[in-house]
């Protein structure tokens, strides 16, 4: 990878970090409502995997911690922020919010609050790719907690039997809200669970962008070549709470948080690039400033200034807004 | 014209829609090689291949979700659930995903899938094969729910359901699969919306859907012998409901009864009577009556099952009560 790309990727991760921090601030100011789940600490995974995917071509789907996956897949950051602000210009026109960002122009097919629901939806997207004979694949990002849902087992089985072009990315941050994986899950290494479905799988460091990219490339090549699904497990850590409402001190120690903060993906990648002479501390400061300005002057400004949805439009988007009378009717009676 | 059974009409609709659009696929338990538990896809696996007519494992929630996911990418899946009881396993993907994705995405992603499933009691199938559940689906925003009463509607509404851009739940009935009707040989479509006046009358409006329309029609014949002219309405679509046709009929007859095979609470009957009260309360000359199932899990024993489920006699007597004759 050339230096310009390395620098771009670092800038993207700084942007993603700042985006999420800014969401936190806006939430505290009551500009963002509902539930808010931040991706801080896990950035290398969405960044690395989607860097290796075909941009706006492959399908991407995930759970409720979805802002960064959407942006990296190609959804404009300003529209994602406008969605969080509940604005008509938002990715989902203000109807979805933080947990339900959609952008079909980027083939980003949504964030879902039902843990485990994206598994079958991803397999369905993959089924469509296979059926249409395109070289697209479907990439599904979910956490380790989702793997205890029935849809995990049902979907892995069908994806394998039907050899669907689906890449399942398990972001193993070791906590299902506040329940640590060893208190909820019999098999700790998630990739080992794929033995039951005859799906190739591997486990990697999810805090090291280069490791993520390298492993994702192999997995994507496998899936795209028509060999069926692949399961990637990345070990990572959610640096913040599950959402805004939980205190991490209730379920994990300061020592553990400290240990993982040393593996912060931004720190890891910055250190690598500095060591390789690609970037200096001064460059990083400059990038941080640039990103800060972009988020304030473009992303936040757009979200703040955008109009809220019109109440008259509350019934829009429930069903097809321009239905074909040939199929819908209504049937005419004579009275 | 040819006489087709209800299942044959559904099979014909599948066949024509598979032929019409390569994005149409069929998926469900045993819909392929053996042609479906009720033969609704008989021979189509052999005709269109295993990629278009897909036998699934017994994983209702996830294969429904796979169908929904495929629909998000432009496919038009027809998902069969062998019995509406099993649809309970698929409610997460159906209601949390299929019904909500269009709205949650601000209209940017549609889910044009069809879910077909037989509801209702058959012959001593007991509690876990006799659920009806129409009342649950009809209270879910983002779905269309249709209940064809005849081969013509089963054929024409399934074809419309496949072509329309919304999620459509088609509720069939185990006891209707062998019902026969003359059907035109050429292709036709029946609209998904709109109730149908299937018998004209002036004294009382009997409202049913799916199986209970036939109870109403048979009761109307008996009422005729008593000098009572009953109008019968087939709701056809439970979501959305056709308020206009209900209102106009009740304004004419001034009396009404609703017959449903399901339990009463929060049901079709409650909804229809609420609509009548909202639309034309002062047109009513008598209290409305609901005919419905007993508030029990459907029992196995033949006599108990019969007692649990409404029949023609119940509708007939209910109508007499509305008329003030008993």
Which chain B residue has the Cα nearest residue A131? B51
Paired tokens of A324: 């074909």
Q: Does A247 touch chain B (CB under 8 A)?
A: no
Domain ranges in chain B with CATH number 3.40.50.920: 196-322
Q: Which residues of A touch B105 (CB under 8 A)?
A: 92-93, 95-96, 100, 102, 104, 110, 317
3 state DSSP class of B258: strand
φ, ψ of residue B118 in degrees (nearest 5): -85, 130
Domain region containing A105: 3-328
- Chain mean position to CA A160: 23
Give the distance from residue B107's alpha carbon to the nearest chain A alpha carbon, in angstroms: 5
**Do A151 and B61 lie within an 8 Å CB cutoff?**
yes
Please enumerate in sequence order all residues whose Cβ is within 8 A of that of B302, keeping only pairs 6 or more positions apart, or say none: B124
The CATH number of the domain holding residue A109 is 3.40.50.970
pTM of the prediction?
A: 0.97
Measuring CA to CA, how many Å separate A249 from each of A39, A258, B90, B137, B230? 18, 12, 37, 43, 70
Give the distance from residue A102's alpha carbon to the nearest chain B alpha carbon, in angstroms: 5
- Compute the average pLDDT of residues A254-265: 96
- CB-nearest to B68 from A121, A323, A325 is A121
3 state DSSP class of A311: helix
Q: Which of the four pLDDT bands, split at 50, 70 and 90, describes residue A247?
A: confident
Beta sheet of A201-205, edge-to-edge order: A108-111, A59-62, A138-143, A166-172, A230-235, A201-205
Q: What is the pLDDT of residue B215?
A: 98
Q: Is A97 inside any structural domain?
A: yes
Closest listed residue to residue B29, CA positions, set B52, B65, B53, B2: B53
Residues lower than pLDDT 70 in chain B: none
CB B66 within 8 A of CB B113: no
Residues 305-334 of A with CB under 8 A from B: 316-321, 323-333
Question: From CA B220, how far away is CA B226, in angstroms rounded?
Answer: 10
Give the distance from residue B124's alpha carbon to the nearest chain A alpha carbon, in angstroms: 31
Question: From CA B273, how far away is CA B279, in angstroms rounded?
Answer: 10
Q: Which residues of A touch B96 (CB under 8 A)?
A: 112-114, 117
Give the distance from residue B301's alpha carbon to the nearest chain A alpha carbon, in angstroms: 34
Q: What is the pLDDT of residue A246?
A: 86
**Do B61 and A329 lie within an 8 Å CB cutoff?**
no
Instruction: Report the CATH architecture of B196-322.
Output: 3-Layer(aba) Sandwich (3.40)
Q: Which residues of A touch B192 (CB under 8 A)?
A: 327-329
Question: From CA B98, how far away is CA B81, in angstroms rounded?
Answer: 15
- CB-nearest to A323 from B57, B69, B164 is B164
- Nearest-10 Cα torsion for A8, A9, A10, A12: 90
**Do B69 and A100 lie within an 8 Å CB cutoff?**
no
Q: Is A108 inside any structural domain?
A: yes
**Do B73 and A158 lie within an 8 Å CB cutoff?**
no
Please enumerate in sequence order all residues whose Cβ is within 8 A of that of B156, keeping only pairs 6 or more positions apart, or say none: B13, B188, B189, B190
Please enumerate in sequence order all residues whose Cβ is within 8 A of that of A174, keeping only pairs 6 or more positions apart, or say none: A144, A180, A181, A235, A237
Neighbours of B207 (CB within 10 A): 28
The ipTM, to two decimals, is 0.97
**Do A123 and B66 lie within an 8 Å CB cutoff?**
yes
> Taking 90 as the threshold, does the pLDDT of residue A245 lie above it?
no
**Do B163 and A327 lie within an 8 Å CB cutoff?**
yes
Question: From CA A133, how far away is CA B140, in angstroms rounded?
Answer: 35
Please enumerate in sequence order all residues whose Cβ is within 8 A of that of A148, keeping only pairs 6 or more positions apart, or say none: A116, A176, A184, A185
Closest listed residue to residue B166, CA positions, set B92, B240, B235: B240
For residue A282, give the H/E element and its range: helix A281-294
The beta-strand segments (E) located in chain A are 59-62, 108-111, 138-143, 166-172, 175-176, 179-180, 201-205, 230-235
Give the distance from residue A90's alpha carbon to the nearest chain B alpha carbon, in angstroms: 9
Beta sheet of B196-199, edge-to-edge order: B196-199, B230-234, B204-208, B256-259, B289-291
Q: Does A119 touch chain B (CB under 8 A)?
A: yes
Residues 57-76 of A with CB under 8 A from B: 59, 61
**Do B166 and A319 lie within an 8 Å CB cutoff?**
yes
CB B174 within 8 A of CB B29: no
Question: From CA A64, how far away is CA A131, in angstroms rounded?
Answer: 28
Q: What is the mean pLDDT of chain A?
A: 97
User: How large is the greatest C-alpha to C-alpha distance in chain B, in angstroms?
Assistant: 60
- CB-nearest to B75 from A131, A323, A325 is A131
Which chain B residue has the Cα nearest residue A157? B57
Angle value at C-alpha A154, between B35 and B101, nearest 5 degrees? 90
- Compute the average pLDDT of residues A159-174: 98
Give the distance from residue B307's alpha carbon to the nearest chain A alpha carbon, in angstroms: 35
Question: From CA B170, how far away is CA B172, in angstroms rounded?
Answer: 6
Give the distance from residue B210's alpha carbon to the nearest chain A alpha carbon, in angstroms: 16
Q: Which CATH number fits domain B2-183: 3.40.630.30, 3.40.50.300, 3.40.50.970, 3.30.110.30?
A: 3.40.50.970
Which chain A residue has the Cα nearest residue B143? A319
CB B257 within 8 A of CB B315: yes
Count: domains in chain A? 1
**Do A319 and B107 lie within an 8 Å CB cutoff?**
no
For residue B46, give the H/E element and its range: helix B44-48
> Best residue in A84, A124, A130, A198 to probe B by mutation, most B CBs within 10 Å?
A124
**Do A122 and B160 lie within an 8 Å CB cutoff?**
no
Q: Is A334 inside any structural domain?
A: no
Question: From CA B10, how far away is CA B158, in angstroms rounded?
Answer: 7
Q: Is A244 inside any structural domain?
A: yes
For residue A258, give the H/E element and its range: helix A254-261
For residue B103, the 8-state DSSP code is H
Question: From CA B272, how far away is CA B278, in angstroms rounded?
Answer: 10
- CB-nearest to A125 from B69, B101, B189 is B69
> Taking 80 as the threshold, does the pLDDT of residue A335 lie above it?
no
Q: Quick one: B30 exposed, middle or buried, by C-beta within 10 A (0-12, 13-18, 19+)?
A: middle
Which chain B residue has the Cα nearest residue A121? B69
Measuring CA to CA, how many Å separate B116 from each of A131, A147, B196? 22, 29, 21
**Do A90 and B110 lie within an 8 Å CB cutoff?**
no
Rg (C-alpha) for chain A, rounded Å, is 21
Q: What is the pLDDT of residue A334?
A: 78
Q: What is the pLDDT of residue B289?
A: 98
Question: From CA B115, how far away is CA B231, in angstroms rounded?
Answer: 31
Which chain B residue has the Cα nearest residue A114? B96
- Nearest-10 Cα torsion for A165, A167, A168, A170: 170
Q: Is A34 inside any structural domain?
A: yes
Q: Does A129 touch chain B (CB under 8 A)?
A: yes
**Do A120 and B163 lie within an 8 Å CB cutoff?**
no
Residue entry with tokens 């012998």: B225
- CB-nearest to B109 from A102, A132, A331 is A102
3 state DSSP class of A208: coil
Report the length, in residues, of chain A.
335
Q: What is the pLDDT of residue B170?
A: 98
Q: In percent, how much of chain A has pLDDT > 70? A: 100
Q: Does A226 touch chain B (CB under 8 A)?
A: no
Give pLDDT tens digits for B266-284: 999 999 999 999 999 999 9
**Do A103 and B103 lie within an 8 Å CB cutoff?**
no
DSSP string, A47-59: HHHHHHSPTTTSE
Q: What is the pLDDT of residue A148?
A: 97
| Active-site amino acid positions of B | 60, 129
């Amino acid at each position: 990878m050339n230096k310009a790309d390395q620098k771009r990727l670092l800038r993207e991760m700084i942007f993603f970090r700042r985006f999420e921090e800014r969401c936190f601030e806006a939430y505290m100011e009551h500009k963002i409502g509902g539930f808010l789940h931040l991706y801080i600490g896990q950035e290398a995974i969405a960044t690395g995997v989607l860097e290796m995917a075909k941009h706006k071509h492959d399908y991407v789907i995930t759970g409720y911690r979805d802002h960064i996956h959407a942006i990296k897949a190609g959804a404009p950051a300003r529209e994602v922020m406008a969605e969080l602000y509940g604005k008509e210009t938002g990715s989902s026109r203000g109807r979805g919010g933080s947990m339900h960002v959609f952008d079909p122009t980027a083939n980003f097919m949504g964030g879902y609050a039902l843990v485990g629901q994206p598994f079958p939806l991803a397999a369905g997207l993959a089924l469509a790719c296979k059926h249409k004979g395109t070289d697209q694949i479907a990439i599904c990002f979910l956490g380790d907690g989702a793997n205890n849902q029935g849809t995990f087992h049902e979907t892995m089985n069908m994806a394998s039997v039907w050899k669907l072009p689906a890449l399942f990315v398990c972001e193993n941050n070791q906590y299902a809200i506040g329940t640590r994986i060893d208190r909820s899950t019999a098999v700790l290494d998630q990739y080992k669970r794929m033995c039951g479905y005859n799906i190739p799988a591997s486990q990697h460091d999810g805090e090291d962008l280069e490791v993520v990219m390298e492993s994702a490339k192999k997995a994507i090549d496998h899936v795209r070549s028509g060999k069926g699904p692949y399961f990637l497990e990345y070990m990572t850590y959610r640096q913040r709470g599950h959402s805004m409402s939980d205190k991490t001190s209730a379920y994990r120690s300061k020592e553990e948080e400290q240990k993982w903060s040393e593996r912060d993906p931004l720190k890891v990648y910055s250190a690598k690039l500095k060591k390789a002479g690609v970037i200096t501390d001064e460059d990083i400061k400059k990038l941080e400033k640039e990103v800060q300005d972009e988020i304030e002057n473009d992303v936040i400004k757009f979200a703040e200034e955008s109009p809220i949805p019109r109440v008259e439009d509350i019934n829009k988007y429930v069903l097809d807004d321009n239905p074909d009378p040939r199929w819908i009717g209504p049937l005419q009676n004579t009275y | 014209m040819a006489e087709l059974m209800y299942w044959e009409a559904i099979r014909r609709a599948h066949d024509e829609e598979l032929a019409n659009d390569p994005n149409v696929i069929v998926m469900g338990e045993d819909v392929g090689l053996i042609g479906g538990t009720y033969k609704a896809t008989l021979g189509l696996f052999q005709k269109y291949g295993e990629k278009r007519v897909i036998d699934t494992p017994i994983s209702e929630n996830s294969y429904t979700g796979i169908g929904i996911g495929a629909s998000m990418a432009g496919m038009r899946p027809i998902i069969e659930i062998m019995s509406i009881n099993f649809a309970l396993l698929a409610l997460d993907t159906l209601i949390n995903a299929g019904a909500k994705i269009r709205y949650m995405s601000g209209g940017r992603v549609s889910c044009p899938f069809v879910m077909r499933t037989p509801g209702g009691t058959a012959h001593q199938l007991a509690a876990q094969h006799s659920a009806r559940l129409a009342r649950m689906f009809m209270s879910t925003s983002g779905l269309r729910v249709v209940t064809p009463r005849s081969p013509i509607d089963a054929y024409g509404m399934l074809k419309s359901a496949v072509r329309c851009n919304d999620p459509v739940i088609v509720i069939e009935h185990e006891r209707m699969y062998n019902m026969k009707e003359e059907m035109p040989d050429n292709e036709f479509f029946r609209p998904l919306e709109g109730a149908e006046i299937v018998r004209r009358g002036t004294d009382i409006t009997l409202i049913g859907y799916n199986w209970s329309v036939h109870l109403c029609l048979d009761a109307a014949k008996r009422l005729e012998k008593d000098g009572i002219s009953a109008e019968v309405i087939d709701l056809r679509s439970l979501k959305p409901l056709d308020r206009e046709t209900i209102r106009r009929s009740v304004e004419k007859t001034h009396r009404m009864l609703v017959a449903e095979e399901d339990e009463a609470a929060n049901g079709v009957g409650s909804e229809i009577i609420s609509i009548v009260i909202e639309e034309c309360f002062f047109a009513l000359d008598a209290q409305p009556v609901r005919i419905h199932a007993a508030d029990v899990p459907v029992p196995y024993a033949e006599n108990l099952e019969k007692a649990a489920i409404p029949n023609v006699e119940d509708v007939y007597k209910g109508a007499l009560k509305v008329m003030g004759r008993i």
